[in-house]
Structure 1
Amino acid sequence: MASSAEVHVRICGQEIIKYDLEIKALIQDIRDCPGPQSTLLELNCQVKQKFSKLRLRIQDLEQMAREQDRETDRLAIQAEAESQRKQMLSNQTVWRKANLACKLTIDNMEKDELLCGGENQSTRQRKVTKESLVENSSNITESLMSISRMMAEQVKQTEDTIGMLATSSRTVQETNEEFKNMTGTIHLGRKLILKYNRRELTDKLLIFLAVALFLATVLYILKKRLFPFI
């Protein structure tokens, strides 16, 4: 039976796939959008909402990876999160290209409509056309600014990820240095223990010789006192 963590990871992955498919469908709608600019703006708003939800779910998946106890599970979930993040970046690139192509198509259509109208259009019609062009230009500018802000946010997230990886690398290096220091300390302790054992053996031998010499001296004195003629 799957654990609670595995169920959460699976659900998170399914939601990521769902948002990815919805984003692809909206990008296709942008490619096919015949106008006007207000319709394109509405589609872009929906895409931005889906990207925001997708980004949050990918961050949740990365957090789940960091919480895994087993190294194999952590690496597998990290790889899946990285793959989904790359796919998201690829979708953002396709989205920007679809936007530019759609805006160009709409602009060309509006220019053709203006040219087909001829020079005999009324002043009122020309005024409405100018207002429409101004509105369209404003909408395009707003869309480009939104895309620019999204790219800046993505760059910041990438910098944060790089910083986290650098911190992890430093931690691993520090741990390695600690292990080296511990190995040196253990080696030094072993040498001291061997030296102490040799010194202890030497001390015991000297004590034994001293005791033997003392006993021999006592026996010699007793012999001379008790048996002086022997």
Structure 2
Amino acid sequence: MASSEVHVRVCEQEILKYDLEIKALVQDITECPGPQSKLTEINAYVKKSFHDLRSRIEDLEQMAMEQDKESDKQALVSQVQGHRKQMLGNQTAWRKANLASKLTIDKMEKQALLDGPDNTARQRKMTKEGLAQTSGDITESLMSISRMMAQQVQQSEETITTLATSSKTAQETNEEFKTMTGTIQLGRKLITKYNRRELTDKLLIFLALALFLATVLYILKKRLFPFL
């Protein structure tokens, strides 16, 4: 797996994490019994999660533009479009949850005014219990998300360590190939030089032999046919 693939995988995991956070917070808004300050606090968390989600989607889009293969680029672009569509769906659900929660809180406040002080005290008690329950649910959800993030970070670290080891091994193998290539080229040059030298030696021997035969023939001619 290449380093860019690791970054893409980590980015997609973070997008999933923020998407889950937003869905959990939207559910908390839907179930929020009040008061208005608690609803405002949850909405602040939602805004931050949307900001982080949007940032990671933009990072994934940038990684898509940097892909060498057109097929990989198109696949990531398609994922980016899917994430943005899902984010728009979450925004719609967020607005609907806020509207429903505000209507419920307004209705409860009006009913409390009509019922008088005794009912108001009872309603406040119920509201505190509801807030305590909601706070416990949020804490449990955040702890679960934190554990999931820790596992994802550990997996990413193990993947990066494996990539680093593989890269080092590949570099060492490449250096060995370079050394072997140099040795082979040197041997090829020596063999070529030896072949040329052998050809030259054969030519010189042939010329020496021809000269020797010519000398022998000349001497025999002078002795056998001195008058010629």
- What TM-score comes out, normalization by structure 2 length? 0.51
Matches within 5 A, 1:142-161: none
Matches within 5 A, 1:32-51: 32-51=31-50
Matches within 5 A, 1:1-230: 2-117=1-116
Deviations along 1:115-160, one digit per CA (max 9) or x if unpaired, are: 1118xxxxxxxxxxxxxxxxxxxxxxxxxxxxxxxxxxxxxxxxxx
Letter in 2 for 1:65: A
Shift of 1:32: 0.4
CA distance in 1, matches of 2:88, 2:35: 27
Letter in 1 for 2:6: V
CA distance in 2, matches of 1:45, 1:112: 28
Deviations along 1:73-131, one digit per CA (max 9) or x if unpaired, are: 0000000011000000000000000000000000000000001118xxxxxxxxxxxxx
Shift of 1:24: 0.2
Matched residue, 2:174: none
Shift of 1:65: 0.4
Letter in 2 for 1:44: N
4+ runs deviating over 4 angstroms: none
CA distance in 2, matches of 1:117, 1:65: 61
* Unaligned residue ranges in structure 2 (runs of 5+): 118-228
Deviations along 1:196-226, one digit per CA (max 9) or x if unpaired, are: xxxxxxxxxxxxxxxxxxxxxxxxxxxxxxx
Shift of 1:26: 0.3
Letter in 2 for 1:101: A
Matched residue, 2:132: none
Letter in 1 for 2:84: R
Alignment: residue pair count = 118
Matched residue, 1:178: none
Matched residue, 2:207: none
CA distance in 2, matches of 1:106, 1:88: 27
Letter in 2 for 1:100: L
Matched residue, 1:125: none
CA distance in 2, matches of 1:88, 1:16: 10
CA distance in 2, matches of 1:44, 1:18: 18
What percent of counterpart residues are identical? 65
Secondary structure (helix, strand or coil) at the match of 2:34 reads: coil
CA distance in 2, matches of 1:33, 1:106: 8
CA distance in 2, matches of 1:19, 1:99: 19
CA distance in 1, matches of 2:116, 2:97: 29
* Unaligned residue ranges in structure 1 (runs of 5+): 119-230
Letter in 2 for 1:29: D
Matched residue, 1:138: none
